[in-house]
A and B are shown apart, each in its own frame.
Chain A
Amino acid sequence: MLHRIFSRIRDWVDDRTGLPEAVGKMATHLVPPDAKWWYVFGSATLCAFMIQVISGIALAFSYIPSASEAYSTLQFISDEAPFGHFLRGLHYYGASAMVLMVGLHMAQVFLAGSYKFPRELNWATGVLLLGFTLVMGFTGQLLRWDQNAVWSVVVAAEQTGRVPFIGKWLAHFTLGGDTVGGATLTRFFVVHVFIMPGLIFAFVGLHLWLVLRHGISEPPKPGQLVDPKTYRQEYKELIAKRGRPFWPDAAWRDAVFCVAMIVVIAALGLIFGAPQLEKPPDPSIIAASPRPDWYLLWYFGVLALLPHGSEKYFMVFGPLLVGMLLIALPFLSNRGERSPRRRPWAVAAVLMTVVMIATLWVEGANSPWSPNFNAQPLPPSIVGATNGPVFVGAQLFHDKACLNCHLIGDDGGRRGPDLTDVANRLSKNQMILRISNGGVNMPAYAANLTPAEMDALVAFLQSRRIQRP
């Protein structure tokens, strides 16, 4: 009896909406038989996005996007709301997973040459989705409306301000006025919660439509070239002969990977939680050291390491050029070899990108270019004197902020050279010359030290000698 009622209802819905039939067709469309674990990263990105949508909606129940109140609602979510800390962690690690999966998906598609004919627009929409994801990451960090967020907005405004002609207007638009203030947060809220998710939904739809239209690319075989004249026919024959239904033959891997990813994200959220809130978003608290979240830390490194004077061109044209090159890729080369075994330059490009980002990331995490503002006066055990010029020199080394940028043993900063054994390398006169005149990354101290102070400082540095056998 019940069974009959259910089947009548199902038939009625089938008939009136046509949805089950359409969804069924999509779910069981035929895919190449060898598309296995390498093919899970795209669906994993979508899976991470869904986590973001769900956890984001949940967070929005308590978050107030107001310049004066967002911080206290975040404190409430983190410290008082049931599961609030976990939810913030879920949203943070979900974002991390999404960035990571987009990267892996892109690398896999690039290495397998899947962007070639007829899937040029699959790639181009994917590049746009990568851009949207990064915008989501950056704006999301800003919604964590603490001191770090406020200064990140200022840094963003300074970068947009470098754009020729309309820079000032763009910077104004970024800040939502002349300064950080009441209008700043809401614009990033709108971008993060309405505009970007809307665009992501639309482009994910388009991206998936294109995947269905052209089919999932078959794993490449060396020597099997893509020829736009014959490719479609070959693909059709392959699918007709050996194709498997996406559901369940291929989809189970996506599901397993997605579930595993959710478990990892939830575990990270549970164990580590979300990033701690920093000081309140008060732009008049000067003691701040703004840093981007990990997925943009490498770019923070880029901005520090660029040759001085080239920043203006890089900040404006660098990201633009990379974006344009990525989108242009399948239009520059849409035929020929797909296998990474026959495309050593493609493999090299991916490896170089990974090594470059990893190196810059490590540099960004250590940020040796940032002065160490917490450097404490050197202890007597290191100085080796409790009075006299060496002792006075060591005090000056701290007071004149030399220690902020130079290491003595394990103490100090890493901006300039390690001076633990500087007397092994430089003579007294060379030291005086360098201290007086400074260098590219060192201030000139000539006007900042009395002759007696200079003598003491050099006496201290001359005592920095390591006897080597």
Chain B
Amino acid sequence: MILAVPMVGFIVAPFFARKQEVWRSVGKVDSFKIGETTAVKYEDASPLPWAGVTARSAAWLRRVNADTFIAFSINCTHLGCPVRWLAQANLFMCPCHGGVYYQDGTVAAGPPPLPLPHYPVRVKDGQVQIQTAPIPITKK
């Protein structure tokens, strides 16, 4: 017991710790054109000091109108691969197993069981901010 509790605790404890999500600025409001969808990068909530580039996350951000933004997860709901936005076709496409989503994130074709999740997004002090979030894990 004296050995087992600290050892198992050390290994599994980080997985029960609730991380505080934070808002990350991804650019000035004016740097996004209305109607356009662009990839934005930001840092995870509380990266470990040695995380390096792995601490980065990305989202697809669309400026719908003057003050409305939508942030889509880049993770396909089938198996998590990074979906790409095809601007002229108005579609998100997944390189792994051919999942396709319409511009609103709903499933257009292929194996994805759910629409692309949205991330919380807000405008503050002229900056567009996205709230950090866990990688969406599909349960369906």
Taking Cβ atoms with an 8 Å cutoff, the residues of A that contact B are: 66-69, 150-151, 154-155, 157-159, 161-162, 167-169, 171-173, 175-185, 280-290, 300, 303-304, 306, 308-309, 311-312, 369-371, 373, 399-401, 404-405, 415, 438-444, 448
Contacts and interface: CB of A to CB of B under 8 A. Distances in A.
Interface of B, helix, strand, loop or mixed by DSSP: loop
Chain B interface residue number, banded: 35 or more
Given A66-B52, A167-B137, 12 more contacts: A66-B50, A68-B53, A157-B80, A183-B14, A286-B82, A288-B82, A371-B93, A399-B88, A401-B93, A415-B98, A442-B109, A443-B108
Nearest to B55: A181
A179 B135 contact: yes
Contact of B95 (A68, A167, A370, A442): A370
22 contacts: A68-B51, A155-B79, A157-B135, A176-B14, A177-B19, A178-B134, A181-B51, A182-B51, A182-B54, A282-B54, A282-B56, A283-B56, A286-B39, A286-B58, A287-B82, A288-B95, A290-B81, A312-B113, A440-B109, A443-B91, A444-B108, A448-B91
B138 interface: yes
Contact of B57 (A68, A176, A179, A444): A179
B96 A370 contact: yes
Interface string B23-59: 0000000000000000101101101111111111110
B90 A448 contact: yes
Interface string B110-140: 1101000000000000000000011101111
A312 B58 CA distance: 26
Interface of A, helix, strand, loop or mixed by DSSP: loop
Contacts of B109: 438-443
Contact of B97 (A162, A185, A369): A369
B96 A179 contact: no
B95 A182 contact: no
The 8 nearest A-B residue pairs measured at CB: A68-B52, A182-B48, A443-B108, A178-B134, A182-B51, A401-B89, A161-B137, A284-B58
Nearest to A72: B52
